[in-house]
């Protein structure tokens, strides 16, 4: 069994994102392309985003720190620390309304 501190991982990647030209940093900490389930921590500094992209399978966004907005096809949902957003089965984007860290969980089709 492995144990991981999401708080420590978020802190590390928020520090990295703060100095990155794209304002983001990420790490897949469980699974990966060879597995069905994949979990990735993504840190975004305020004002940065993940541009619109297709949904690769069932997905959720857990907000570890900060505040984000998920947009899809004219609809939007805001998530704050400890909120869980279910990603719709359509193209979507994610914007950081403040410095934020999220855990993206994807079960690929």
Interval 60-89 mean pLDDT:
96
Interval 65-83 mean pLDDT:
97
CATH code for residues 6-108: 2.60.120.10
Count the neighbouring beta carbons within 10 Å of the beta carbon of residue 52.
Answer: 13
Q: Look up residue 31 and give its two tokens.
A: 């699974």
Which pLDDT value is given to residue 2? 84
C-beta separation of 101 from 10 below 8 A: yes
Q: What is the pLDDT of residues 13-39, one digit of tens each?
A: 999 999 999 999 999 999 977 889 999
Q: 106 pLDDT band (50/70/90 cuts)?
A: very high
Q: How far, CA to CA in Å, does 58 sit from each of 6, 10, 66, 75, 99?
A: 21, 23, 23, 18, 25
Which pLDDT value is given to residue 79? 98
What percent of the chain is predicted at pLDDT more than 70? 100
Task: Map out the domains of the chain as residue ranges.
Answer: 6-108
Residue 1 has pLDDT above 90, yes or no: no
């Amino acid at each position: 069994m492995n144990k991981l501190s999401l708080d420590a991982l978020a802190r590390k990647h928020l520090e990295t994102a703060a100095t990155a030209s794209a304002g983001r940093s990420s790490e897949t900490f469980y699974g990966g392309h060879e597995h069905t389930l994949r979990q990735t921590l993504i840190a975004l500094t305020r004002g940065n985003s993940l541009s619109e992209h297709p949904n690769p399978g069932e997905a959720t966004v857990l907000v570890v720190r900060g505040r984000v907005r998920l947009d899809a096809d004219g609809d939007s949902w805001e998530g704050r620390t400890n909120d869980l957003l279910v990603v719709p089965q359509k193209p979507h984007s994610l914007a950081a309304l403040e410095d934020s860290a999220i855990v993206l969980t994807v079960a690929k089709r």
